[in-house]
Amino acid sequence: MDKEIFDKKLTSLRDEIDDIDSQLVNLLKKRRAVTTKVGELKSEVGMPIYAPEREEALLSKRRQQAQDVGLNPDVIEDVLRRLMSDSYVSQDASGYLCVNPHCKKVVVIGGKGQLGKIFVDLFERSEYKVQILEQEDWPNSKSILDNASVVIVAVPIRLTSMIIQHLNDLPESCILADVTSVKESPLYEMMKVHQGPVVGLHPMFGPDVTGLVKQTIIACEGRNPDAYHWLLEQFEIWGAKIYNVDAAAHDQAMSMVQVMRHFSTIAYGYHLMTEGADIAQLVEMSSPIYRLELIMVGRLFAQSPVLYSDIIFSNTDNIAMMKRFAFRFLELLEDVEMGDKDSFVEMFNHVSEWFGEYAGDFLAESKSMLLKANELKRH
């Protein structure tokens, strides 16, 4: 085939692709218009945006349809998940039902902070009256807190107890809550100063979220859960999943989920720096999984050191946990140093058995994450 004929055929096929892509864009525009209407309808009746059963059923159907026509079902699922994420944004813009129209006022202490701003925005979109209490507002705190139905403490961990101690004159029916990553100590302080409803909350998301769809908020019971049930329901309307757990169990779990992981990540970043590693070279030579690990390390160091030092230093019990982690690290290192591969393999198999079905589930989940990480690669 000569070059002229080839170029002509290629141009014709590319024009056909462009036409199909244009049709796709118009179809997606129609789809978004419909999802916006869905959001408006859900908002009217107070139905949560996120419907997991509907999402899974839709994905299952379309995967089967893709398979039937010879398309890769993983590709179709990936496209649909991205579309669903966009549809949640369009529904999110519709606003939310106010679960408790009798709520007089919500006060967010630290409402101008990164996390506090998220809750201020959500309450306002549900048409609650919201006031913010910052450090410079304390001379007027009595009038700001007067008649409050909900007071949320959203300040750094190191300041939380001190702030709570100043909240000893709230209305008896007022719900007092905090949103720190430690729960036992703040709950104790809140129960001591306030005789009304108390709940400890731990939002399991960062300040960069644009909504609460598929986000988790941990709730630790303090006092009078019937009185603050509507608040948790409001979070669910916003799309969040509520996970109820005892405060002591929460803090123990967080010492492993947050503290130990943050500390080991910081130590790894510190080690890379002190070893004089060439980070540009590491990035270039990394497979998707190692690149993702480097991304998570770099992400941490792009944030406030005060935030992570507060989390790590917040509970001295964490020291014992981290020492046990360091001991096990050295224990495994000794196997490597002694050339005892059998002991190392035996340990690996024991841990694999302990993970059970989760190991396979995490392997499947990580595959799609790694594909996305590779797609986002800048160079």
Tens of pLDDT along the chain (379 residues) come to 788 889 889 999 999 999 999 999 999 999 888 888 887 787 777 777 777 888 889 899 999 999 999 999 988 988 888 888 877 776 665 567 899 999 999 999 999 998 999 999 999 989 999 999 999 999 999 999 999 999 999 999 889 999 999 999 999 999 999 999 999 999 999 999 999 999 999 999 887 787 788 899 999 999 999 999 999 999 998 889 999 999 999 998 988 888 888 999 999 999 999 999 999 999 888 888 888 889 889 999 998 898 888 888 877 778 888 899 999 999 999 999 999 999 999 999 999 999 999 999 888 888 777 777 666 665 5
Domain boundary among 187, 222, 245: 245
Q: Are both 124 and 235 inside the same structural domain?
A: yes
Q: Angle of helix 341-355 relative to helix 357-375, nearest 10 degrees?
A: 90
**Assigned domain for 100 exists:** no
Helix (H, G, I), strand (E, B) or coil at 220: strand
Helix (H, G, I), strand (E, B) or coil at 282: helix
Encoding tokens for residue 219?
């709730």
The C-alpha atoms of residue 363 and residue 275 are separated, in whole angstroms, by 31
Domain boundary among 225, 245, 265: 245
Domain boundary among 92, 124, 146: 92
Query: Residue 345 is part of a domain; what is its CATH number?
Result: 1.10.3660.10
Secondary-structure breakdown of the chain: helix, strand, coil percentages, each rounded to the nearest 5: 65, 10, 25
**Assigned domain for 126 exists:** yes
Give the structural domain span for 192. 106-245
The C-alpha atoms of residue 274 and residue 270 are separated, in whole angstroms, by 6
Structural domain total, the chain: 3
Q: Are both 87 and 148 inside the same structural domain?
A: no
Q: Are both 86 and 178 inside the same structural domain?
A: no
For tokens 């209407």, name the residue.
37
The C-alpha atoms of residue 101 and residue 173 are separated, in whole angstroms, by 15
**Assigned domain for 121 exists:** yes
**Assigned domain for 97 exists:** no
**Assigned domain for 219 exists:** yes
